[in-house]
Amino acid sequence: MKTLRFLLFSAIITLSSCVKDVDYSGKYEGTIYTWEESNPNDVFEYWDAITITEDSWGFNIGNTGNYLDNRGKFQNDSTYEDNVFGYSFRVEEKIVVRKSKLDYERKTTSLDSTGSVVSVYFKEGVLDKQ
């Protein structure tokens, strides 16, 4: 029984020493593509950069206060009100960092004061770590 406990303890120590801390910090650059749902063939592209910094809370995305989870992912669904024009905006955003690539997706839906969809915009791209 002592041998079994020793082997189990040794296996746990071995596995825990194999865990590698991943460093997501750095500058990621690449092309972002954007288009409107009503006109998917009219794609606009531009060069963009996202910087991820490490602080005491974790990996901060562009100093926005949004952080990657321990698997390099960020997902947010939010609604913003525009009191001046009576519109609201529903934003769905997802960022995934793997190795030296950052996958970026964003969908912005604008709604009028009755809740009807006015327009839907998409952004996506794969950015490379510099």
Q: Give the residue among 35, 29, 32 at the shortest CA–CA distance from 108.
A: 35
The pLDDT of residue 92 is: 97
Domain range summary for the chain, segments of one domain joined by +: 23-129
CA triple 47-40-98, angle to 5 deg: 45
For the structural domain made of 23-129, what CATH number should be given? Answer: 2.40.128
Per the CB < 8 A criterion, the answer to whether 127 and 52 are in contact is: no
The pLDDT tens digits for 26-58 are 999 999 999 999 998 999 999 999 999 999 999
The pLDDT tens digits for 52-83 are 999 999 999 998 889 999 999 999 999 988 87
